[in-house]
Amino acid sequence: GAVVSQHPSWVICKSGTSVKIECRSLDFQATTMFWYRQFPKQSLMLMATSNEGSKATYEQGVEKDKFLINHASLTLSTLTVTSAHPEDSSFYICSASGLADTQYFGPGTRLTVL
């Protein structure tokens, strides 16, 4: 199957700082990328959908000014958590979809905000 990478795999930051997470499709062009958040022992919750070259569509309850998403190319999307607080600590997972419907997920990024 297609490969999606995420960087970093884990990050620890101080409260009030910003953190950027990268999501890359390595062997296909991703017309759409998705960002999910997963709390321990829970399911994946969609945060936003982004299409290359256009603004992301955020799910209800997700602050667009806090979770900045950029999908600048067909192989790269970034999620920036601005002014992070301890309640933002979570497992962030991206997925990418090309011309087909299949979504391939990245390995996830564990964010811990102290």
Partner 1 sequence: GENVEQHPSTLSVQEGDSAVIKCTYSDSASNYFPWYKQELGKGPQLIIDIRSNVGEKKDQRIAVTLNKTAKHFSLHITETQPEDSAVYFCAARLDTGRRALTFGSGTRLQVQP
Quick check: 86 binds partner 1 (CB under 8 A)? no
Euclidean distance between CA atoms 106 and 113, whole angstroms: 21
Residue 102 engages partner 1 in binding (rule: CB under 8 A): yes
The SS3 of residue 35 is strand
SS3 11: strand
CB of residue 98 to partner 1, shortest distance in Å: 10
Segment contacting partner 1 by CB under 8 A, of 11-19, 67-75, 76-84, 102-110: 102-110
User: How far apart are the C-alpha atoms of 53 and 72, rounded to whole Å?
Assistant: 6
Binding site for partner 1 (CB under 8 A): 1, 4, 6, 32, 34, 42-44, 46, 49, 93, 97, 101-108, 110
